[in-house]
Chains A and B, each alone.
Chain A
Amino acid sequence: MNLRDFRLRVRALIAPRRVERELDEELAFHIERETQKLVATGLNLKDARARARVRFGSASLAAEECRDARGTAFIDTSVRDVLYALRSFRRTPTVALAIVGTVALGLGLVGAAFTIFNHMVFRVDAVRDPGALFAVERPRSGSSNRVRFTLPQYEALRRENDVFSDAFARLVDIDSRIDGRMMAGELVTGNFFEVLGVTAALGRTLTPADDVRQGGRQVIVLSHKGWSRLFANAPDIVGRSVIVSGFRYEIVGVMPERFRGLGLTPPDYWAPLSLLGQVRPIHAGREDSVAIDVIGRLKPGLSRKTALAGLAVWASGGGSVPSANERTANITLEPKRTVMPLSPEVLLAFAPLFFVFGLILMIGCANVANLLLARAVSRQREIGIRLSLGASRRRVIRQLLTESLLLALASAVCGFAIARVVLAATAYVFTRTMPPELAEMLSVTAPGTDWRVAVFLVAVALISTVLFGLMPALQATRLDLVRTVRGELTRDARPSRTRNALIVVQVTASALLLICAGIFLRSAMRSSTVDPGVRTADTVMVDIVNEPFRAAMVAAVTAEPSVRAVAASWPDLLGQPRAAFASTFAEATADKATAPKAASGSSADNSGTSNVAYRFVSPEYFSVLDIAVLKGRAFLEEESSSNAAVAVVSETVARQIWPNSDAVGQVLRLEPDPNSESVHGDPELARRALLERLTSIDPNMGMVLTLRTLGRLETYPLQVAFWLTVVLGGLALILTLSGIFSVLSYLVEQRRKERRSHRARRDDGGRRATRVIAIVACSRGGPCRRRRPGLGPRHVVDVGPRPRRGSATLSTSSTRWPTR
C-alpha cells in the first residue's frame, strides 16, 4: 500500500458521500459525452441517450467495481454488519440480553479463576530482573521435604560459588505481636533489598550494616501493606519505634506498594536476620542451626543449567556442605520470577478450579447455542430471502458471526465486571466467616487484574461465542431457497437432535457439580462431628512466645476467675509435634501426643526404631483435655518437677511399636519446658479476658486460641469447598433450567404463530394471510406506490445489509422499474 492509496482510502472512509457523488458524476459525464457524440452523428437526443446507456452497460455494476477498487469494502461491510446486528438486537432485546448475561456469568467465574492463576503464575514482582532470581534448594530424595540451608552454609555459598552475582537468605513467617497486634514478619540478610534492586518509598531499606552478627541494629522496614494495616499510612512513620518481642525497633523505611517481597502478599515488615535471637527467643544462642531459605541472583548471561552444574561442583567439593547423614539429592534451582513457576504440577493444581468454572461457562454456552438454534428456525425466512436476493452464503455467515462477535465483546466486558464482583464477594465472605483468631493474622483481599486477564476474557469470549454461534449459523444458511421463501420451514433444519444432546450435557454437568457438593458436605459434617479425643468445647489455648514473661503469664492465667484448670504442653496444640525434630532422637521416642492426628503422623522406620511425634505436657494435661488413660497411669504431680523418665503413649503407637507386648515401660526423655497453657471456661469470653490480661504483661505475646477454633481450622477448607460447589452446582442447575425453559417457550411461541397462520389460511383460502402481508408492506414500506404482490416480502422483512454482489441482480431488475 503506498501513500497515495492510503490517502484515497482514508478519503473514502472519511467523506464517503463526496466520493460517491464524484463517482456518479464521472460516470454520468461519460454517458453525456457519448450521447453528444452520437447526436453529432445525426441521432436525435432521446435515441442517442438510450444508445449511450446501452453501450455503457450497467452503471451500478461499474460503480460497484469502482468501489471494490477502493479497497474499503471490508470496512464498509463490517460497519454495515455491525449496524445490522445492532438493529437485530434491538428487535429482540431479550434474546441478546439472555445471551450476554449467560455467557458473562460463566466468563466472570472463569475470569475470577484466571485472575487468581495470573496472580500466582504470571504476575512478576516489582524487582530488578526477576528472571535471574532462583531459590537454592536441596530436595530430600523420596520425600516432598527438603533439606534447608543454615546460616554458615549460606555464607559459604555466597563466598565460594561463582554462579551468583549475589545471594540473600531469609526466614519467612515470623509471627509476632507488635503493639498488641499480630504482625507477619520476615528476617532477611542485609543485602536483601540490594540483591532485589528495590528502593524504599519512604525512608531507607535495610543495608548490610544493619545486619552484623552480634551487633545488628534494631531496625525494621515496613511493607506498604503493614504500613497501611497497622499505622493507617501515617506519613511520619519513619523514625518511630515499635516493641518487637520486648525489644525496641526503629522503623527506618516503608517499601512501595508494588513490591511484594517475592511472595503472594508481602509480609508486614522485614528485619535483619542477625536479630533472630531477639525476635525468636527460642532460637537464641543457636542461630547457626536454624534453617533458612537462600535465594540468589544469577550472574548475567548464565543459564540455569550452567548454574546448576556450577553449584553441583561446589556442593561436591566444599567442606561446608551438609554432612553425609543428611540424604540430600543434588542442589536444584527454583525460579523465583513469579510466585509459582508455570509447571505441570501447578497447572494440575489449578485444573479442578478451571474445570468447575469452565463447566458453568460451558453450560451457559450450551444455553446460548440452544437459543440460537431455536432462533435460527425463525430466522430462516429472513436468511432465505437474503440468500435469494443474491447474498452469498459466506456473506450471510459473516453477518451472523459479526453478531456473535458483538455479543462476545459485550459478554467479555460484563464478565470482567462479574469477575471483580465475584472476587470481592469471596474475599468478603472469607473475612467474615474465618475464625476471628485467623482473621487477625490473615487479610484476604481480592487479587488485582491486569491486561492478561482482559486478554484472556476476550479470547475466551471469542472462542465460546464463535464456537457456539457458528454451528447455528451454518445450520441456518443450509436452506432450500424456494421452500423457505414460500414460508415453508424445512424439516431437517429443526435441530432437535443437537438440542437434545446439549441438554443432556448440561444436566450431566449440573449433576456432577451437585454430587461433588454432596461429597464435600458429608466430609465437612463428618469431620466436624468426629470426636477429636480432647475436650474442645470450653478450652482456650494461650501461646507463650517470650520466655522472660512465662512465670508472670502463668500466674495471670491461674488468677483469671474464668479459668478452672491450667495445663501446659510443648510444642503447643496448634503446632503439630514436629516429626523432623523428633527424628533427631535416634532411639524409639515415645508419643505423648493426644490428638489422633499426631499419632497417625508416626511411622515405622526400616531400622526397627520408630519416629513418632511427641509433645511435652504437664500432669494436668490429661484431665484438662479430658483424655482417658487406658492403661497404667497419668503423670503424677511430683513427676513434673523431677526428671522422671515417664511417658504416656497413644493407643495407636502402642499397637504399632509393641504389637504383642505391654507398652508400659519404654524409654523417653523429658525436659520440662512448657510453652503453652490450656485453661477451662467459656472459651470466647475467657479468650478475650486472657488476651487483655496477658497483653498487659507482655505486649508481644503470641496467639490465644480456643480449641474450638483449632477444630474448625480442619473443617474450614472442607466447608469452603462445600459452599463453593453448592453455589456452582446451584448456578449450573439454574442455568440449565432457564436454558431449557427459554428454548421451550421460544418454540411454543413459534408453534403458536405457525398454527395461527395455518388456521388463517385454512379459514379463508389463504386470502387473509396475503392481506396481512400486504398491509404490513404498506405500513413499513412508506407510501404504497409500487403495490405489486410479488414485492411484498421485500418490505416485510428487513433485508439487512445490502448484499454487495446481490445489488447487481437487483439492478438488472431495476430496468423494469427504473428507480430514477
Chain B
Amino acid sequence: MTRQPPPDILQGTLDLLILRTLQAEPMHGWAISERIQQISQDVLHVNQGSLYPALHRLEHRGWIEAEWGVSELGRRAKFYRLTASGRRQLAVAASEWERMTTAIGRVMKMA
C-alpha cells in the first residue's frame, strides 16, 4: 500500500556518495544533492525522500555530525560534517567500491 519511491541510486551507494561529497567541506542536505547531481553531470538524481533518512542514519552511526549554521541565502540550515570515524569509513568503503567496479568492469570487458 505504501508508495515506495523507485530507487534511483543503488542502495548503499548513497551513503558512500554522501560521505565522499562531505569530504571537502560541511554542507546541508540540499547542497549535497545538488553537488552529486552536478558532478555526475545530471546522471545521478538523489531522491530527496531517501537523502534525509540516510543523513540521519549516518549521523546515528557517528560518521557525520550535524550543526546548525547559516546558509548561503542567510537562512538557518543544518550542516553536516564528516567525523574522524566517518573519514575512516569513507576510506574503507571507497576502496571496496574500487575493487567492485574494477571487477565488474573486467567482467564486462573480457567475458
Contact = CB atoms under 8 A, between A and B. Distances in A.
Contact of A22 (B3, B48, B75, B78): B78
Given A66-B56, A70-B56, A32 B75 contact: yes
Contacts of B47: 57
A2 interface: yes
A20 interface: no
A33 interface: yes
B1 A809 contact: yes
B30 interface: yes
A58 B3 contact: yes
Contacts of A65: 49-50, 52-53
B61 interface: yes
Contacts of B28: 29-30, 33
Contacts of A63: 52
Contact of A29 (B1, B30, B59): B30
A27 B30 CA distance: 9
Contacts of A26: 29, 52, 77-78
B105 interface: no
Specify which of B1, B29, B50, B60 lies most central, judged by the most chain A CB atoms within 10 Å of its CB: B60
A36 interface: yes
Given A26-B29, A29-B76, A62-B53, A57 B48 contact: yes
Contacts of A5: 60-62
A27 B34 CA distance: 15
Contacts, number: 85
Interface range on chain A (Cβ under 8 Å from partner) = 35 or more
B53 A33 contact: no
A4 B30 contact: no
Contacts of B77: 26, 29, 33
The majority secondary structure among interface residues of chain A is: helix
A63 B50 CA distance: 10
B88 interface: no
B62 to A, nearest CB: 4
B2 A808 contact: yes
Interface in A56-82: 56-58, 61-63, 65-66, 68-71
B53 A805 contact: no
A33 B73 contact: yes
Contacts of B71: 29, 33
A57 B50 CA distance: 10
A66 B60 CA distance: 11
B57 interface: yes
A58 B2 CA distance: 11
Given A30-B30, A56-B48, 6 more contacts: A2-B61, A26-B77, A55-B48, A57-B49, A65-B52, A66-B52
17 contacts: A2-B62, A4-B62, A26-B29, A26-B78, A29-B28, A29-B77, A30-B48, A33-B77, A56-B49, A61-B2, A62-B48, A63-B52, A66-B56, A69-B53, A70-B56, A808-B1, A812-B3
Interface of A: 2-5, 8-9, 22, 25-27, 29-30, 32-34, 36-37, 55-58, 61-63, 65-66, 68-71, 390, 805, 808-809, 812
Top 7 A-B pairs ranked by shortest CB distance? A65-B53, A69-B56, A33-B30, A69-B57, A4-B62, A57-B49, A62-B49
